[in-house]
Structure 1
Amino acid sequence: MTNKEIIEAVKEHPGNKVKFAIIDIDGVLRGKYIHKDKFFDNLDHGYGFCDVVYGWDSADKLYNKSSITGWERGFPDGIAKIDLESFRPIPWDNDVPFFLADYSAGDKMEAVCPRSLLKKIVTKAEGMGYFPQYALEFEWFNFHKSEANNQSALKPQPQPIFDGMFGYSLVRIAQGSNYFNDIFDLCEAFDIKLEGLHTETGPGVFEAAIQKDAILKAADKAALFKTAIKEIAHPYDITPSFMAKWNQNLPGCSGHMHQSLLDENGKNVFYDQKAKPHMSPLMESFLAGQMEALPYLMPFFAPTVNSYKRLVEGAWAPTTLTWGFDNRTTALRILNDRPETTRIEHRVAGADVNPYLAMAAGLASGLYGIENNLRLDTPAFEGDAYSNGRLKSLPDNLHDANIAMKRSKLAKEILGEDFISHFAVTRDHEWNEYVSSVSDWELKRYFEII
């Protein structure tokens, strides 16, 4: 749709309101309803939106230190600009018109806005003649709502909607057919077309692969998907969880990121029919850039304390700095059997990832490899990457990962010093919240016996 057609669609909608949202650092949508009159009156100039959305964490707790906002600045409004191209009606909410927004160019908040960061890197890629095409696939657990809220160590654990380890189960799909069908159909009506939806191995866990698209649209769809699932699940009294690891005895939840580059004619530049094994020199450079940068960009792919509990041996998640052809034990998995599907699957990212930050880091590090004509200094890994003790390990906790990012000249070069500075503050806050808390493990271990 053209912008004119989108504006007409909003005018013709029988309702009197519009919903729009900004993406915060943790990938959470922060939004509101506005009257259609306000929508049209401020479309060119933007809408006031309190800058606290980049001054607090996912639980609305203010950061102790902030590089961009705080009490000393009075938490003023920034100016949010609605992106008309993000328009989609919400099919489970009376088709109310919905939009995504960014802080305006020149607004101080633009420097730390994840969507704005991705747009800048996309502009750079297109200036180099490359058009990134990305997609995310998500795994998530589904729980009975009344029991999912029992978070105390002295109460029962959340109860998944299904029992048993039933990956790719047609029986479980049939047993939850209304919910499954709503996910598939309502997401498509919300402009989030799914390639596939199935049960994963684990009680009540699903996996959805979102159809690939131009990178900004792919990030939009991935971010909106997580919120859509939570809203679609509500009438079924189901609580979905995208946390990376909710139970130490079960596999975690991935957010695998699929990456390719097209030229101006739509040709996949990662594929080379003449090369062995069909991997172009440009793809090699892109991959080499990601390999070099990955140890310093881990918070972009594993942003929470919980993320690193998923990244353990034998749990379908990578632990080493490795790449390989169709190898699910490596960090970066190459799929290149034909031009249309040749891509790099980034397997470090979990379901708790902020899609804009993961895609920004993946693209920026790949472009760095192309700009510097990097070549891979390690061969494709074959076999079990968990069992080789000589391989370089990835950071195994948020604290160490954040220190590596803060000290990295490469991270600041490719993603901007302002963004890295602010993002590091938010990850320090996340770690400090963790170490100062009293865990369920501590309660169970020490509550009575000690």
Structure 2
Amino acid sequence: MTEFIERLEELDQPFVKVAITDIDGILRGKYMAREKVVEAAKRGFGFCNVVFGWDSNDQVYDNATLSGWHTGYADGLARLDPTTLREIPWEDGTPFCLADFAHDQSGLADACPRTLLKRVVAKAESMGFTPKFGPEFEWFTLRETPDSLVEKGYHRPLPISPSMFGYSILRTTLNAPFFRDLLHQLRAFRIPLEGLHTETGPGVLEAAIRYDDVLSAADRAVLFKTAVKEIAYRHGFLATFMAKWREDLPGCSGHLHQSLWRDGENQFGSAEHPRGMSKLMEHYVAGQLHCLPELMPLLAPTINSYKRYVAGSWAATGMNWGIGNRTTALRVIAADPGSTRLETRLPGADANPYLSIAAALAAGLYGIERELPLTTEAIQGNAYADQDQPSLPRTLAEAVGRMKASELPGQLLGDAFCRHFIATREWEVRQHEVAVTDWELRRYLEII
């Protein structure tokens, strides 16, 4: 903590930006005077518990117990994590620091996504593993602002480039200042990218974030999404990580590359095994195959999330796995033992990275603990053509019902967290059920 305080003094900035991550993966924060942050670094600081009592549109839940009118919306105890201190290059070097509720005694620790991931990481460490993750995201960049979208009623947003043009050198040149800022300002913000390119679709981009120890990787993922939005704002653009914003275009994924390490060595690779996978990795993959269908709301948390799972759309439609196969839910990458890893392709870009990573890791560890055998064969070729596969939930309502009916999520992530999270997703379903959509108006208003 002394080093943290000394670093703040070296930066000599009057204010520090601090933030926590809510259940939807949205950063909620504020500017605090440096002197206040120094005191908060020692004792923590109060943060209104409403951040776990409302949805992404600030509508308060009527079915949550950890936060609500019955609590008077009291403060919870947030604690800064000094290891997350960094400078915001597009805000003249303003210091930034993440916080969580790991030390809160009022119940917020059960709802806090970052605290949940810490508990899953502790489980991995107790088993002798150091998990490493490398998230990658797809997103659309639009030639819009928040005001222009409201004025247009969110109809027909204009992407920054037209037509389908994956891996385009021309399109990155067309918006070179924006791409330059993404590459260099993200690195300066301690989010190093391994790659950035256009994907197939108008204005869609993909970035791979360099792998790191799992908590740091999740921090980078959360900060990446907000940083991309803020950098886009500065260029007059708007970035969206919505899973599927147009039915005729591919959706946006939030894939997770992962491996387990021990004593500095990757435990997933095996030069002796014909598939390049260690027995430990087979158990890990089997764990995800077994558990993730019961945890889908953590990977696909919104109504819109499930529009992404369409055959031929680069998103999985069954619970399956393959070697280097991009049509499956789980993709094993085993060209070299030192870099052997699993890519979990189920999460959308709209998922909360702390929760999707916690779900993937907890499921894999479950398989290792129970030495689950990998009983299914790797899918060869087009997984969409194979109809005889375990199915995934098709809607958020179905996914929430499946999670609620299973004892497995509570075993993996804790009953208190699951109760709160399921309540928030049930709320999300209810908001959709009462909404009258443009589709309904076009289909029924005149004819019926």
Q: If the length of structure 1 is used for normalisation, what is the TM-score?
A: 0.97
Question: Which residue matches 2:126?
Answer: 127
Judged with a 3 Å threshold, the aligned counterparts in structure 2 of structure 1 residues 22 and 146 are, in CA distance, closer, same or farther, namely closer
Q: 5+ unaligned residues in a row in structure 1: which ranges?
A: none
Separation (CA, whole Å) in 2 of partners of 1:37 and 1:146? 35
Taking the TM superposition and a 5 Å limit, the aligned residue runs for 1:30-109 are: 30-107=28-105, 108-109=107-108
| Alpha-carbon contact 2:77-2:104 (below 8 Å) kept | no
Offset, 1:69: 1.4
Q: CA deviation at 1:152?
A: 8.4
Task: Supply the AA of the counterpart residue of 1:89.
Answer: E
Partner of 2:407: 409
Alignment: residue pair count: 447
**Is the CA contact (8 Å cut-off) linking 1:139 and 1:255 kept in structure 2?**
yes
Aligned equivalents of 2:317, 2:368: Cα separation in 1: 25
CA spacing shift, 1:427–1:247, aligned 2, 3 Å:
same
Farther off after superposition, 58-67 or 24-33? 58-67
Distance (whole Å) between structure 2 residues aligned to residue 70 and residue 349 of structure 1: 29
Given that 1:147 and 1:159 are in contact with CA atoms closer than 8 Å, whether structure 2 keeps it comes out as no
For residue 19 of structure 1, the aligned residue among 17, 20, 42 is 17
Whole-Å Cα distance in 2 between the matches of residues 138 and 247 of structure 1? 17
Q: Is the 8 A contact 2:242 2:252 kept in 1?
A: yes
> Structure 1 residues 433 and 156 mapped into 2: Cα distance closer, same or farther (>3 Å)?
closer
Asked if structure 1 preserves the Cα contact closer than 8 Å seen for 2:76 and 2:104, the reply is no
Instruction: Spell out the pairing of 1:363-378 with structure 2 (5 A cutoff).
Output: 363-378=361-376
Give 1:424-439 correspondences, 5 Å limit: 424-439=422-437
**What secondary structure is seen at the aligned counterpart in 1 of 2:178?**
helix
The whole-number CA distance in structure 1 between the counterparts of 2:21 and 2:155 is 33
CA contact (8 A) 1:67 1:421 kept: no
Deviates more, 1:439-448 or 1:159-168: 439-448
Find the counterpart in structure 2 of residue 166 from structure 1: 165
CA positional deviation for 1:67: 2.6
Quote the Cα distance in structure 2 between the aligned partners of 1:411 and 1:378.
Answer: 23
Is residue 270–residue 277 contact of structure 2 (8 Å, CA) maintained in 1?
yes
Report whether the alignment pairs 1:443 with 2:441.
Answer: yes
- Deviation (angstroms), 1:58: 0.6
The one-character-per-residue Cα deviations of 1:234-281 (angstroms, maximum 9, x if unpaired) are 121101110000000000001111110000x21000011111211101
1:384-403 maps to which residues of 2 (within 5 A)?
A: 384-403=382-401
> Percent identity among equivalent residues?
49
Q: Secondary structure at the match of 2:377?
A: coil
1:254 equivalent in structure 2: 253
Quick check: 2:20–2:98 contact (8 Å CA) kept in 1? yes
Which deviates further from its counterpart, 273-282 or 222-231? 273-282
Q: Which amino acid aligns with 2:137?
A: F
2:305 paired with 1:307: yes
**Aligned counterpart, 1:209:** 208
Q: Which residue is equivalent to 2:360?
A: 362
Moved more, 71-80 or 380-389: 380-389
- Matched AA of 1:395: P
Give the drift of 1:7: 2.0
Aligned to 1:44, the other structure's residue is in SS state helix
Matches of residues 105-254 of structure 1 in structure 2 within 5 Å? 105-107=103-105, 108-146=107-145, 149-150=148-149, 156-254=155-253
Specify which of 292, 295, 307 is matched with residue 294 of structure 1. 292
Match of 2:327 among 318, 326, 329: 329
Amino acid at match of 1:285: H
Letter in 2 for 1:262: W
Question: In structure 1, the residue corresponding to 2:82 is in which secondary structure?
Answer: strand
Look up the SS of the partner of 1:98 in the other structure: strand
- Separation (CA, whole Å) in 1 of partners of 2:206 and 2:410: 34
User: For 1:63-113, what per-residue CA distance to the aligned partner results, in whole angstroms no more than 9, with x for missing partners?
Assistant: 111031111111100010000011111111111111100114242200110
Do the aligned partners of 1:19 and 1:32 also contact (CA within 8 Å) in 2? yes
- Deviations 1:375-434 (Å, cap 9, x if unpaired)? 112111112111112112111110010011111111110111111111000000111111
Measured in 2, the distance between the counterparts of 1:405 and 1:149 equals 38
CA distance in 1, matches of 2:149, 2:31: 31
Compared CA separation, residues 154 and 186, structure 1 to 2 (3 A)? closer
- Equivalent residue for 1:276? 274
Quick check: 1:148–1:158 contact (8 Å CA) kept in 2? no
Q: Measure the CA separation in 2 of the matches of 1:25 and 1:379.
A: 36
Amino acid at match of 1:415: L
Distance change in 2, residues 1:151/1:316 (3 Å):
farther
Q: Match for residue 319 of structure 1?
A: 317
Distance 2:244 2:255 in 1: 15
Is the 8 Å Cα contact of residues 330 and 343 (structure 2) preserved in structure 1? yes
Distance, in Å, in 2 between the alignment partners of 1:363 and 1:377 is 20
Q: What corresponds to 1:345 in structure 2?
A: 343
Whether contact under 8 Å (2:131, 2:214) holds in the other structure is: yes
Structure 1 residues 422 and 154 mapped into 2: Cα distance closer, same or farther (>3 Å)?
Answer: closer
Q: Which is worse superposed, 386-395 or 194-203?
A: 386-395
Conservation of the 8 A alpha-carbon contact between 1:168 and 1:200: yes
Listed as ranges, the gaps of 5+ residues in structure 2 are none
* Aligned mates of 2:149, 2:74 — CA distance in 1: 37
Residues 147 and 157, structure 1, Cα contact 8 Å, conserved in 2? no
